[in-house]
Chains A and B, each alone.
Chain A
Amino acid sequence: MKKIEAIIQPHKLEEVKEALKAIGIDGMTITEVRGHGRQKGHKEIYRGQEYQVDLLPKIKLEMVIPAVRYDEVIKTLVASAHTGKIGDGKIFVFDVADAIRIRNDDRGESAL
């Protein structure tokens, strides 16, 4: 099993979710995060006081998938999250030791 962590642009979330749903991936966890890679931030001014805001809002998607579906999921993710501009995000992949369904104690890939 592989865990996929994808940091994407917030406005791409709907498209990514739809694309993953279309290939049968429903289970995921979504968090609102802040961060940046090489993307520049923006300037905010409050009553003359300037602030450089470098931490930008992003969405983090986490999902665990069977290893056989890896190439397909990555391809779908990249295609739906892509805009071509700096700030598109990154995907990290981890190996998963185990997965357990809390309701009925299913283990391994059958828990996904």
Chain B
Amino acid sequence: MTDSHSRRLIVDGAPQPFAEGDSILSALLRAGIQPTSGGALCAAGDCANCLVSVDGIAYVRACQTQARAGLRVERAHADGYPPLPVTERHGPEIHARHLHCDVVVVSQGEAGKAAAEAAHADGNRVIVLDAAGGQEVIGVYPGPLVVARTDAGMLNVHVKRELVVATGAAEIQPVAPGSELSSIFTARAAALMHSAGVALGRVAAIGAAPDGMPCEHVEGQLLRFEDNGRGHVAAIITRDAQGNERRTPCDSVSVGFGLSPRNGLARMAAQVPGLTVRTIGDAAREPDIPPCPLAGIVCGCSGVSVDDLQSVWERGFRELELVKRSTLAGTGTCQGAACIPHIRSFLQNRGGVLQQPFTARPVARQLTMGEVSAGSHHTATPRSALDAEHRALGAYVTRVGGWYRPWNYGNVEAEYWAVREAVSIGDVSTLGKMQISGPDALEALERLYPTKVSTIKTGRSRYVLLLDERGYVLDDGLISKDSDTRYTLTFTSGGATTAELWVRDWVESWGLDVRLLNQTMSLGAINVTGPLATTLLKRLGFDQLLAFMEHREAVIAGVRCKVYRLSFTGEVSYELHHPAEHSVALWRALMRAGADLGIKPHGIEALLKLRLEKGHIIVGQDSDFDSTPRRLNHEWAVKLDKPYFVGKQALLRTNKLPLDKMLVGLEMDGPAPLEGSVVYRGESSDMADYAGYVTSSSFSPLLRKTIMLAWVKLFDGAAPERVSVNGRIAKRVQTPFYDPEAARARA
């Protein structure tokens, strides 16, 4: 294998050799291949005329990408917009890296190097980002944050003080009929290609001549480029001072129309608060303003011509920002690098004023989705300490209420009947758990909750609603009194975080002397429920008789627990709160001890059936953002004769208004409709008779019918007795559907 054979690019499917040091652009031109359908080449990353796809990544600037053996290069053929990959790609994950410094210097030309050295000498931590060194800055964001693309991934530089932009100046592109032909170069690009050994043929140079290469210098005003019939330039047509046209035949054209500062990043950064922006070197130079373009394409990225500019000018779009928005000039791949000088010249010619360049916004370069998402992470969903245990038992685990939880263990009916007829355990570690202690603990709770907390006795618990200032239900849970100055609060799994912030905010606002400790992540909780629950706990050493809503500390199966007697399922239930590191041991001990009692674990799916039979609401599912206790039929949980609680004023006011909707119980024969199904009054299915929607729905194994909770509107002050859901009749019934006297739960 020869050396040249080992250094080949694959261009449009065919191998092409390249030379040491070649960019993809010089390799293509050396092989006589134009990177795109045409347009002047700058070879400096400023324009969008050498875009190619490399290894499936579109919008890659051929001039800025080193040629490497085996790279697959596909050329763009349509208007400078390369085809996006149509196949699904699974490239390697793009990583992000975070660095911190005082000063960022973009580019390390002479000016950049000097600025970096000076900043370093002043004791600053300096980071230099240079596209030539592989760090291409793509945006400056509030933070302040400078983001660069590198071969190793995205680099996020958090800069404290100053951004120094030393990015030099771009060469001005030609605008004239035929400027979209190939073999047109800016002067520096022509010199670069020549020095790289690319054969340019006869070169006609207009404006400043390229350094160090032979060319025929052409005087006069550029009129147009002539096509050789194959999309290549064949001649340049100019007009001299006397008005005579001159045709200069050539193979390539070099255009030296001056320089425009590369200050896009500086314009972008100027909008970032807290960041000093300094532009130095050629990036700070005054721009050369080219002659007003007469004809041709001004913005190659968006295909905007001089005629288009004239058209919007005549329609009154005369500010540079408006011209950009109305024509899309400057919004394409090169973000205005090529067109801004010409549009400014055009507007100066028409309006007499040289306008400032338009606002620059991130990103300055096209990014892949992988690059955009680099460093993004989902906020993790927590798992209880029993997660692996559930999976080992065959549970289908899914996200419920902000946690991974067991939905079922494969047989929902069996789980249900274990609760109703024997004993079952469920993982309720996800409940919010908070301790509150201090001389003002009672006062804080009296203000926060609509119940009379002072009447809760030590060792007892009470179901409570948590209301917002508008009297809407924010969450529900328990208050358990541990002593005169110490209580434990529980919240719903999904509402715990909000509830904690709510409690902390109010306590802080009131300036009360309390201590708060959130133990949600530290404590596990297992619900032991069913008519044989007490029997099971006795076997594990808990032989104390707890009254309904009583709690006590105990050691069960060697694990110190706080045992709460309560019920969400409608059966005798004990919640065992314990250090989460002992959850697995406790769970296994319960399963072992209950084996001959028919114990089964139950998942959320069974729990939802069980609690629905009891008519227990789930805040967030059965409640809405405007659910008052009255609408939820939970007025019994509110004591309006208390002097104060959050939401009291709103309830006093809204209670004077006629009730307009409420949560009701419904039952029907047949299978359960989907939750969210529309409820109509009577037997109608006409939107004029829209009454509400179903919030919870399940077929009750015990009652042998479908039971539902639903929001319904009141008609003439009353909820309809008969409604239709999915074309089937349902009737309104009182809740609970099951054991309304709560005899089983209190047994």
Physical interaction between A and B = no
